[in-house]
Amino acid sequence: MDFELSPTQIERRAAVTAAVAKRLAAHRTTTDPELVRLAWKNIAGSGLTGLCLPEEYGGSGLGALDTALALEAFGAACSDTGLVFGIAAHLLSCAVPVGEFGAEGARELLAGMASGDVIAGNAMTEDEAGSDVGRIRTTATRTEGGYVLDGEKSFVSNAPVADVFVTYAVTDPAAGFLGISAFAVPRALDGITVGEPLPKMGLDGCLAARVRFDGCVVPDRYLLGAEGSGGAIFQHSMAWERGCLFAAYLGLMEHQLAECVRHTTERRQFGRKIAGFQAVSHRVARMRLRLESARLLLYRACWLLDAGRTDVTAIAMAKTAVSEAAVANSLDAVQLFGSSGYVAGAGIDQQLRDCLPTTIFSGTTEIQLELIARETGL
């Protein structure tokens, strides 16, 4: 077991940090679609939108662990966690399945996805199909030269700025899980309606909306994998998302911990630094313990992915550990900063709002615990 990062990995992390400082120096979290696209354009030149995509399409060809390390550096350097989340979701839940399962027609989208010129949204969730993805009602009916999509997706990250949607629909209602197919659907096709941006508690920089397909004819070339393989493709994309996207939250927690150390060693109460109170120092120590424990689990899950071993338990444990640590550490940070942590504008309040949804998206904590229990033999 070797816990040291290679010189190349260290250099890549430093490069990401420098790129964010330079390219997003003037960026502030925004919900304006035009400004969100501008932020994407500014950071895309750093390679973050194509980390694990094939080099022949302009990507960096990185494995899961190297992708996670880059996203961790991104999460630490960028205060707009919504932007970080949107780019990671574009890359992992959309570009990865297009790159690995798309035929030649769909793979033509990859160059734009790698460069950030083509933004992708993952359209799976429906009103009656969140954790229970087998209950999706969107249909894809065979027609000459393609499929006709009908249905509505209730929560699609990046939707207001997306140029393509990776979506899932039922092609064979009688086949259950094996009757779901995956598609890369260009937004320019007729029959697609994107709703207004949804108001959210956090991740403001990642705009989300409902997306409706009404008789949308999708040519055959945009089918991902074989008909009926959509469920397996979605599971594969979720392995990458749960394994790599949450590295961005390791970065957030690393930055947050440094802020808490600085604050507690500078702020004085009762004639002494508050870091000298055991109640404070132990809270900070537990924050570090959660962060380091979650980091090891996530690195291991990514290492297994790179080894060709998609370990469901390892990924579920990593996702759960990171999400629960992010929420707990953010609550501790608010407590350590006191009223200044509660007042909007200091950044600590925003970190908490951005961390709260981690226990919901990419599979709820309850679903992850079910997966762990099942793989444990229960």
Rounded distance between C-alpha atoms, residue 298 and residue 292, angstroms: 10
Inter-residue contact 207 to 160 (CB < 8 Å): yes
Rounded distance between C-alpha atoms, residue 224 and residue 140, angstroms: 13
Distances (CA, A) of 51 to 48, 101, 245, 313: 5, 17, 12, 25
CB neighbours of residue 307 within 10 Å? 12
Inter-residue contact 258 to 375 (CB < 8 Å): no
* Contacts of 371 by beta carbon, 8 Å cutoff, 6+ apart: 312, 313, 316, 363
Rounded distance between C-alpha atoms, residue 66 and residue 7, angstroms: 12
Dihedral of CA atoms 293, 298, 300, 303 in degrees, nearest 10, equals -160
Please identify which of the residues 72, 126, 227, 241 carries the catalytic annotation: 241
Tell me if residue 279 falls in helix, strand or coil: helix
Pairing label, strands 223-224, 180-186? antiparallel
Tell me how long the chain is. Answer: 378
Inter-residue contact 171 to 177 (CB < 8 Å): no
CB neighbours of residue 69 within 10 Å? 25
Please give the angle made by the CA atoms of 292, 294 and 299, to the nearest 5 degrees.
95
Q: Which residue has the tokens 């494995």?
A: 63
> What token pair was written down for 131?
């954790």
Of the candidates 218, 222, 118, the one whose C-alpha atom is nearest the C-alpha of residue 161 is 118
* 366 tagged catalytic: no
Inter-residue contact 284 to 264 (CB < 8 Å): yes
Tell me if residue 210 falls in helix, strand or coil: strand
Tell me which residues are annotated as active site. Answer: 241
